[in-house]
Amino acid sequence: MKAFAIEKKEQCTFTTIDHTAPKEGEIVVAVKVLGLCGSDLKTYQGHNPMVEYPIIPGHEIACEVVEVGPGVPAGISVGSRGTVMPYTRCGVCPACKSGRFNTCSTNRTMGVARPGAARPFMTVHHDDFIPCDGMDYSDIALVEPLSVGRHAANRVPSVDGKLVLLYGLGIIGVGILIELKRLGAKVIVADVAKDKLALALRLGADYALDIKDAEFDSTIDRLSGGMGLDIVFDAVGSAKIVEAALAKTAVAATIVFVGYHTDTIPFNTKPIVSKELSVYGSRNALKADFEGSRDNLRSNPALKDLLVTNRFAFSELTEAFRYWVDNRGSVMKILVDMPEGERK
């Protein structure tokens, strides 16, 4: 079958790969729609330290089961629609032993550390399949990206009725916003992209502030009554935002770091100590987050109309990446429509 591969920085090709017959517990799925992730873009731009080139990118999958191997439970059959969890779990590391599979120490994310889904068919374990029957493929392709923000929002024990400050409106930040609103929080979002701030308001954000605005600090002060915020999310991960986010916390506040900088960044720990902050990290998502994200998309089909900003054909994947590079401020989610393709 024909797969799309990134050979090195900004150099892509279509390559022929073999189909793998399903073994015990495995299924073959036809990829119908593929979402492009920020990590795929980083790979295209040559900025993804976890990638070994060449790599088939892609891990946001909407698919249909086309073949079922031996030992697959009856609930999954030919014609079932769903998505695939793109993470691996070894089952024996301390994280896996404590049930935190999303933080497995040897996780190899699909399309990053192993071949991805930019191909018409793939063979996966049934445990990784999240059934999404009756849903549109475009909704299904959003399950994984929104599950990451959903997981992050749920790191905080209680957000109901609280005023929350969220930095960063990439798809993870947007997933956090959607979940925070579902859980009853009031949310201030902060970003520099006007289109994303406008989108956040349509998604229910209570306030959308431009970080570069001269009034940014005074507006935050006014909204928090001069007390700072009880809950702050950093879905950016730059040195500047880490410091800014810490500075905006109230006494005894909670701060959640979702994005992280790939380099080591110096920052002052004084606010954490002097204000007795609780610091959380958040990584990937658990099966329950996928299921929650799926259920939310199932009951809110209008979400995709807000989130999917662009569509490309599989044959135009290189153009899709080029477009994203040139339109960072306005692209929220690019979906790729996959062709029927040959399985052999």
Residues that bind Zn ion in the complex, under the rule CB under 5 A: 37, 90, 93, 96, 104
Between 97 and 343, whose beta carbon lies closer to Zn ion? 97
Between 152 and 185, whose beta carbon lies closer to Zn ion? 152
- Rounded to a whole number of angstroms, the minimum distance from the CB of residue 226 to Zn ion is 38
- Rounded to a whole number of angstroms, the minimum distance from the CB of residue 43 to Zn ion is 11
Cβ-contact 181, 305 below 8 angstroms = no
Between 72 and 118, whose beta carbon lies closer to Zn ion? 118
Residue 284: phi and psi, rounded to 5, are 50, -140
- Rounded to a whole number of angstroms, the minimum distance from the CB of residue 321 to Zn ion is 14
In our burial notation (b when 16+ CB lie closer than 10 A, e otherwise), range 54-66 reads ebbbbbbbbbbbe
Chain position whose Cβ is nearest to Zn ion: 37
- Rounded to a whole number of angstroms, the minimum distance from the CB of residue 149 to Zn ion is 11
Between 56 and 185, whose beta carbon lies closer to Zn ion? 56
Of the candidates 332, 282, 323, 328, the one whose C-alpha atom is nearest the C-alpha of residue 303 is: 332
Of the candidates 307, 291, 335, the one whose C-alpha atom is nearest the C-alpha of residue 130 is: 291
Between 27 and 334, whose beta carbon lies closer to Zn ion? 334
Element (H, E) at 311: strand 308-313
- Rounded to a whole number of angstroms, the minimum distance from the CB of residue 284 to Zn ion is 9
Between 104 and 220, whose beta carbon lies closer to Zn ion? 104
- Rounded to a whole number of angstroms, the minimum distance from the CB of residue 94 to Zn ion is 8
Q: Which two tokens stand for residue 92?
A: 């024996």
Q: Which two tokens stand for residue 320?
A: 């899709």
Cβ-contact 311, 335 below 8 angstroms = yes
Write down the residue that tokens 């090195």 correspond to: 8
- 254 contact partners, CB below 8 Å, separation of at least 6: 156, 230, 231, 232, 277, 278, 279, 280
